[in-house]
Amino acid sequence: MGGVKALMDTVVALAGSERDAIFREGERLATERSRVQQVFNPGELVTLNIGGTKFTTTVATLRNAPPPSLLEAMFSGRHAVSTAEDGSVFIDRDSRHFGDVLNFLRTGQLAYPKGGTDFKYLLELRAEAEFYGLLGLVARIDCYPWSVVRATRAGAINEDEEDEWDFTGSEDEVVFTVSAPCQLMGIGLCGTRTGYHASIKVLRVKRDDFDIELEILWSGEHTVTSADGKVARVDLPAPIELACGPTYKLQLEGEEGTSSFRAEDCLQVVVAGGVRIEYEEHHSPNNTCEHLGQFPELWIRVVGGP
């Protein structure tokens, strides 16, 4: 009987010891959690050393981007962050564009002119945005026409007044497929002598019935004037992802009673940037087809490029 009691006393003592150890570990974790949360208070200043150049901001700013943001993860309180003797956090990265990265986190905007053409800068900034996991910044950069190629299907633009393309209130359409993933960045519309207003759609349609719309990828309005020349380029507000396999349709409805130049001698197959664009046989309500009419050119960006 005494042996059983001794065994029970031992078990109770061990259980108490384990309970005390668990309690102490819980206290340690709570203390650590409190310390981390205190260090990473949203309003507190943080100094980042980016490749030798220091930037000061707040924890709240660094947390502004959603996952998979590297900076949000670093200062979320979920991870220990090493600091230098001066309290700064070192990131081994080129600092040239970090100021722009930081401004994006502060404002949610990319401070770059809409018509800017410094694509080298944009690509460098995009590389930094990808490194820091800032998908919103990547998306804004991708709206600019870097690495864009023109896919021209029109062999000629007929500007003869007697051959003008009349808009009758029905749609001009072309149907096409692509051989590799790419992004549709812009659409070329035929120029005009007098001006016209157009409603434009980019659609995904059924392969065996082009009149069945599966998805509206984009729709918008555009006014073409005589100042646009032979072809008016309509830049899309955001890239439209095109894939190998689906069938796409461009649709244009010009204002009834107006007219434009006409695209003639159109190619049924155009190769641009290594992507084969094939126009399907299709006679649209306002007579545009694979050989003539509207949509003289497209602007695409090959996916997987720089």
Q: Tokens 């509207």 label which residue? A: 294
Q: Tokens 């082009």 label which residue? A: 210
| Domains located in the chain, CATH noted | 45-141 (3.30.710.10), 148-302 (2.60.120.820)
pLDDT of residue 3: 54
pLDDT of residue 79: 85
Task: From first to last of the 306 residues of the chain, give the pLDDT tens digit.
Answer: 555 445 445 544 554 566 566 556 656 555 555 554 445 788 899 999 999 999 999 999 999 999 999 999 999 888 889 999 999 999 999 999 999 999 999 999 999 998 888 999 999 999 999 999 999 999 999 999 999 999 999 999 999 999 999 999 999 999 999 999 999 999 999 999 999 999 999 999 999 999 999 999 999 999 999 999 999 999 999 999 999 999 999 999 999 999 999 999 999 999 999 999 999 999 999 999 999 999 999 999 998 654
| Amino acid sitting at position 22 | I
pLDDT of residue 11: 44
Tally of CB atoms within 10 A around 299: 21
pTM over 0.85: no
pLDDT of residue 40: 73
pLDDT of residue 78: 84
Distance from C-alpha of 128 to C-alpha of 124, rounded to nearest angstrom: 7
- Residue 68: cis peptide before it, omega within 30 degrees of 0: yes
DSSP string covering 222-246: EEE-GGG-SEEEEEEEEEEEE-SS-
pLDDT of residue 38: 42
| Amino acid sitting at position 148 | V
Tally of CB atoms within 10 A around 143: 15
